[in-house]
Amino acid sequence: MPAFLTARGSGEYVLAILLVAVVAVTEEIISRGYLILRVTTVTGSSALAIALSSVIFSLGHGYEGTAGVVTVGVIGLTFALVYVWAENLAAPIL
């Protein structure tokens, strides 16, 4: 990892943790909260909504390479199923 990407000092570690938390919550709101609800409303199929949101979520992580896209796709599918099962966006966020 390049040296400029390495956190130095407690302030940078706190910022890194904060950024990860904000990104995670934002991804869940968009990928699960919005996409699943919207696609289900438009198509009437929650299965299609779950699949499509998982694919879009995984493709958004294309910079991680093929293995990363597949791994993130499986994780996205799992989070989508948890969201639909729990009927609560807090479940996949946690």
Amino acid 77 reads L
Residue 3 has a pLDDT of 77
Decide if pLDDT at 2 tops 80. no
Residue 63 lies in a domain: yes
Domain encompassing residue 54:
28-93
Total number of residues shown for the chain: 94
Tokens 């199929």 found at: 45
Residue 79 lies in a domain: yes
Please name the residue ranges forming H helices in 1-94. 10-28, 35-43, 46-59, 65-86, 90-93
Which of 77, 90, 93 minimizes the C-alpha distance to 36? 77
Decide if pLDDT at 67 tops 80. yes
Residue 94 has a pLDDT of 87
Residue 1 has a pLDDT of 65
The number of domains in the chain is 1
Identify the three-state secondary structure at position 1.
coil
Residue 53 lies in a domain: yes
Residue 12 lies in a domain: no
In angstroms, rounded to a whole number, what is the distance separating the alpha carbons of residues 88 and 33? 9
Average the pLDDT over 3-20 and give the result: 86
